[in-house]
Structure 1
Amino acid sequence: MSVMPSAPEAVDLDAVRSVAGAIHSAMTTVITGKDDVVTTAVTVLLAEGHLLVEDVPGVGKTMLAKSLARAIDCRVSRVQFTPDLLPSDITGVSIFNQDSREFEFRRGAVFANVVVGDEINRASPKTQSALLEAMEERQVTVDGTTYELPRPFLVMATQNPIEMEGTYPLPEAQRDRFMARLSIGYPSARSELSMLETHGAINPLDALRPVTTAEDVQRQIEAIRNLHTSNALRQYVVDIVSSSRSHRMLRLGASPRAGLQLLRAARSRAALDGRDHVLPEDVQHMAVPVLAHRVLPTGEASLARHSTADLVRDLVGRTAVPGR
C-alpha cells in the first residue's frame, strides 16, 4: 500500500512580513536612504544565505552588517580580517588542559548566529578558506571532530575593491558560498546631510535594540522553504543559470549551487512581498545580486568595460519568461 506524501504546510505570510518588517525598520534607523540595500540584506537572511558587501571604504559596509546583527537577539561575533589572522582564530583550536590531562576545544569566532567579517579580502586565501565548510555545511571540523554551528547561521562579510592596496582577491570557491553580493554606493545629498545632523551627535547603533529572536528568524526561514514554485519557474531558473555557461562574454558561468541560491532568494523575496508563490519577477530581481559575483568575464568583455552585473542583466533579458 503506497502512502501519499503529505502536502507542505501553508506559509504564515503575516508572521514572515512581521519579522522582516521589524528588522527592516530597525536597520533603516542606522542606514538611511538605502531601502533597497536593507531589503536585499533581509531577503538573504530569511533565505538562509550569506551576504558579501563590496564597496569603497567609508560608505557604511560595516554599519550595515552591525545593524542587521544588532536587530536580532542572538549570538554575534565580529572578525577583523588581517594578513596575520590564522584559520584557528576563526574555527577554533584544541588546547591541552594540564589539570584534566585532556585536549579541550576552544571555539572560534565562527560559533555564532551572525558572523560579521570585516574586510575579508585583507586576509590570506588560507585563512579565507577556513570559512568554506562552515558556510556550506553549517559545521566545523577540527582535529577530526565535527562541531555543529548554531542556527540560523549567517556570514556577513565586507570587502574593499581588489584595486585597493593590501587586498587579496576572494577565490572562486569562496565567492560561490555567498548567496548575494551588493554594493551600498554613495548616499544622496539629502541622506548625507541627514547623516551629518544625526550621526555627528550620537552613534545610532547604540540606540538599536533587538526586535526579534534567533528562534523566530529560524521559524520564518523554515516556513519560506515551503513557498510554492511551479515547474515552469524552476525551469526558468535553470535556463538563466545554464545560459551563463554559454554566454560569449563569460569565461566562467554560474554553478548549480547558484541556481539553488537564486531560487531560495526568489522564495524569500516573494514571501516579503506577501505572496505564497514565486513569480518570474522575483527571480529577475534577485538575479544580479545572486549571480554577478559568481561569473567571470572574458578579456574582451573587460576591455569593453562590461561589468558582470551588465552581463547578467543581458542573459536574463535573453531568457524566455514562462507563460509569455
Structure 2
Amino acid sequence: MHTLSFKHNDQMPILGLGTFRSEPKAVYSAVLEALKMGYRHIDCAAAYGNEKEVGEAIAEAIDSGVVTREELWITSKLWSDSHGMDNVQPALEKTLKDLKLDYLDLYLVHWPVAFKKGVEMPEKADQFIPLEEVPLTDTWAGMEAALEKGLVKHIGVSNFNTQYLKALLETAKQKPEVNQIEIHPFLQQDTLVDFCKQVGIHLTAYAPIGSGGAEDDALNLFKNVVLLDIAQAHGKTVAQVALKWGIQRGISVIPKSTNVSRLQENLDALKFELSASDMEKIATLNKDHRFVDAKFWEVEGGPYTAEEIWNA
C-alpha cells in the first residue's frame, strides 16, 4: 500500500478506515473485516464513543494472527474537554486503555476549541473555555510531553487553519506532523494544503467522499456529472474517484464505512490511476462547501464562531 513517510522512517498507509459515527457493534465487525482485507490504518477518536469496540477488534486481529501491532497505524484524538498541558496524558491513557494499546502511532488535537472537563458537548457559553485561558500552545506542550514519554510516536492537529498552525509553529519544540481536515472535490482547501506542504505537515482528509446524505443534488458528489463521467471511463465508482483524487494529491484519506462491500470498494481505490486530464477536471469542482460546518460550536455569548475556527 502507498504510504506517507514520517520521522524515524515510520510509514502511514495513505488509505485508512474512519470510525466516526460508526455504531459500537458495527464498528467492531467493520474494523475486524477491514484488517482481514488489508487495511492497516485505523482512525479513531475518544469523542466517537466507540474506542472500546475498536480496541476489541484490533486485539482480536492481533491475537488471531491477522496482523501484528507493528504493521498497524492507529490514530486517535484529544477531545476538547482535555485541553491544557496537565489534561493531555490522562485523556491519552484512557484512549490507550480503551484501544488495548501501549502506544498510538498518531495523536491529534481534535479541535482548536476548549471546554470544561466532563462536558461532552457544550450547550451554554459558560461551559466553554476561551483559548486565552487555555492557549493551544499549552495543550501542545502536553502533546509533546506524551511524545517524549513514548505514549505516542507522532503528534498533530485536526481542524486547524493556517493562522493556528503558524502560531503553534512559533513555539513548538516538535512541529505537528499531520493536520486532519475536511477535504473532498467540493472543498479542495488549496491554500491550506499548499501551506501545510510548504512547512512539511502531512494532511489527512476526513469526509473524503463528502456526504452521501446531502439533500441538495448539487452537493452530492455521487450525482456530479464530471465525477460520474470519470468513474464510468475507468470502470470505477464515484467514491473511488474521489478517494483517488485525494491520494494523488499526496493526502491520506480515511473513508468511513461499516459495509463489507464498501470497505473493499474503498480499498480498491488504490488499484487505478487518474489521468492529468481527470485531475484538472476535478479541480474545477471546488465549491468551498463544508459538510462539517462547525456551527455546533456556536452558542449565545460563547467564545467560538465557525468563521473564526476556519478563517482566523
TM value normalised by structure 1 = 0.28
TM value normalised by structure 2 = 0.28
When Rg is computed on C-alpha atoms for both structures, the one with the higher figure is 1
